[in-house]
Structure 1
Amino acid sequence: MKSLVIAFAMYSKLPMPRMDWEEKTLAWALCWFPLVGMVIGAVLYGWMALAEFLHIGPALFGAIALLIPIALSGGIHLDGFCDTCDALSSHQSRERKLEILKDSHTGAFAIICCGLYLLVFFALWCEVETAGSAILVLALGPALARSLSGLFAVTLPNARGTGMLATFTGPMDTAKARGILAFWVILCAGIMLWLSFLTGGAALLGAGLACLYYHRMSQKQFGGVTGDLAGFFLQTCELAMVLAVVIAQRVVAVL
Structure 2
Amino acid sequence: MKSLWQEWLGAVMFYTCLPLPSGWSVKLAGAAKWCPAVGGLIGALLLGADWLLDLLDLPRLVQSVLVAALWLGITGGLHLDGAMDTADGLGVRDPQRRLAVMADSRSGAFGVMTAIVILLLKVSALASSTMPFSVLWAAVWGRVAQVWAIARYPYLKPTGTGQIHKASCCVPWDFWPTGLVLILLSVMLPLSLGQLLYLHSLGLLLMLLVPAWFHRQLGGHTGDTYGAVVEWSEALMLVGLSVAQGSLPPP
| Interval of TM-score (by shorter of Structure 1 and Structure 2) | 0.7 to 0.9
| Residues in 2 aligned to 1:116 and 1:137: alpha-carbon distance in whole angstroms | 19
Deviation digits for residues 32-64 of structure 1, max 9, x if unmatched? 222221211111111232344443211221112
For the structure 1 residues 199 and 176, does the alpha-carbon distance in structure 2 shift closer, same or farther, using more than 3 Å as the test? Answer: closer
Question: Normalization by structure 1: what TM-score?
Answer: 0.83
1:233 is aligned, of 200, 205, 229, to 229
* Aligned Cα root-mean-square deviation (Å): 2.7
Q: Retained in 1: the 8 A contact 2:33–2:175?
A: no
Q: Retained in 1: the 8 A contact 2:146–2:211?
A: no
For the structure 1 residues 215 and 13, does the alpha-carbon distance in structure 2 shift closer, same or farther, using more than 3 Å as the test? Answer: closer
Residue of structure 2 in register with 1:111 after alignment: 112
Q: In proportion to residue count, which structure has more helix? A: 1
Q: Retained in 1: the 8 A contact 2:84–2:112?
A: yes
For the structure 1 residues 235 and 210, does the alpha-carbon distance in structure 2 shift closer, same or farther, using more than 3 Å as the test? Answer: same
| Residues in 1 aligned to 2:184 and 2:219: alpha-carbon distance in whole angstroms | 29
Give the counterpart letter for 2:115 in structure 1.
C
| Residues in 2 aligned to 1:97 and 1:21: alpha-carbon distance in whole angstroms | 36
Identity percentage over the alignment?
24
1:26 is aligned, of 25, 28, 32, to 28
Q: Retained in 2: the 8 A contact 1:199–1:245?
A: no
1:143 is aligned, of 136, 140, 144, to 140
Equivalent pairs, count: 245
Deviation digits for residues 151-208 of structure 1, max 9, x if unmatched? 32122211224221112332x2513543325524753784599723344444334434
| Residues in 2 aligned to 1:88 and 1:189: alpha-carbon distance in whole angstroms | 36
Residue of structure 2 in register with 1:126 after alignment: 127
Indicate yes or no: 2:200 matched with 1:204: yes
Structure 2 residue runs of 5 or longer lacking an equivalent are none
| Residues in 2 aligned to 1:213 and 1:146: alpha-carbon distance in whole angstroms | 14
Residue of structure 1 in register with 2:18 after alignment: 14
Deviation digits for residues 44-91 of structure 1, max 9, x if unmatched? 111232344443211221112212221101100000010111111222
| Residues in 1 aligned to 2:107 and 2:25: alpha-carbon distance in whole angstroms | 29
| Residues in 2 aligned to 1:69 and 1:190: alpha-carbon distance in whole angstroms | 23
Secondary structure at the residue paired with 1:36? helix
How far has the Cα of 1:128 moved from its partner? 0.9
Question: Normalization by structure 2: what TM-score?
Answer: 0.84
2:210 is aligned, of 193, 214, 220, to 214
| Residues in 1 aligned to 2:188 and 2:198: alpha-carbon distance in whole angstroms | 10
Give the counterpart letter for 1:230 in structure 2.
Y
How far has the Cα of 1:248 moved from its partner? 0.9
Deviation digits for residues 208-249 of structure 1, max 9, x if unmatched? 443343233222211111111111010111111111111112
Give the counterpart letter for 1:111 in structure 2.
V
Indicate yes or no: 2:159 matched with 1:162: yes
For the structure 1 residues 192 and 218, does the alpha-carbon distance in structure 2 shift closer, same or farther, using more than 3 Å as the test? Answer: farther
| Residues in 1 aligned to 2:153 and 2:243: alpha-carbon distance in whole angstroms | 31
Q: Retained in 2: the 8 A contact 1:193–1:200?
A: no
Q: Retained in 2: the 8 A contact 1:80–1:231?
A: yes
Indicate yes or no: 2:65 matched with 1:68: no
Give the counterpart letter for 1:72 in structure 2.
I
Which moves more between the two structures, 97-106 or 177-186? 177-186
1:85 is aligned, of 62, 87, 95, to 87
Structure 1 residue runs of 5 or longer lacking an equivalent are none
